[in-house]
């Protein structure tokens, strides 16, 4: 290899490649967005301020705001403190987020059509296993 060949860098384009025509692929919902939506929804339903809940949970108001907006992946300890400050258990917050995930996933799978329902080892959609349960494979 010559010195000239070793000094050549791979060029990374600064602009993304143009999008393909047609509808954009649906993005999987992120867990942090779902949990944040649950926390914010419950706080607003209780007509409480961000400062009030953050002070009760003993976490910073800025951090709680970022968790609610899905900008931060909160630890289980922070989620438990925020849930308790809202009068909920951690399990209740996670169950509400799970319900939202199932709802969104069901809407997404319906919009994709029946093409995925025949995959081996997977239920055809939400609720295809036991009613209201989520099945996890090892």
CB of 74 closer than 8 Å to CB of 94:
no
The crossing angle, in degrees rounded to 10, of helices 61-68 and 31-45 is 110
Rg of the chain in Å (alpha carbons): 22
For residue range 112-131, list pLDDT tens digits in order: 554 444 444 444 444 444 44
| Statement: the pTM of the whole predicted model exceeds 0.85 | no
Closest CA relative to residue 84, chosen from 28, 49, 39:
39
Provide block-wise average pLDDT over 10 residues at a time, the chain (138 residues): 63 71 78 97 97 98 97 96 98 96 79 49 44 57
């Amino acid at each position: 290899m010559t010195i000239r060949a070793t000094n050549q860098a791979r060029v990374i384009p600064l602009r993304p490649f143009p999008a393909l025509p047609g509808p954009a692929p649906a993005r999987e919902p992120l867990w942090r967005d779902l949990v944040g939506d649950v926390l914010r929804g419950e706080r607003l339903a209780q007509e409480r301020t961000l400062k009030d809940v953050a002070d009760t949970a003993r976490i910073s108001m800025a951090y709680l705001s970022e968790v609610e907006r899905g900008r931060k992946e909160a630890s289980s300890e922070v989620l438990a403190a925020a849930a308790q400050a809202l009068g909920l258990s951690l399990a209740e917050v996670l169950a509400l987020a799970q319900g939202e995930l199932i709802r969104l996933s069901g809407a997404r799978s319906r919009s994709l059509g029946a093409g995925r329902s025949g995959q081996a080892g997977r239920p055809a959609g939400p609720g295809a296993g036991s009613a209201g349960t989520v099945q996890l494979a090892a």
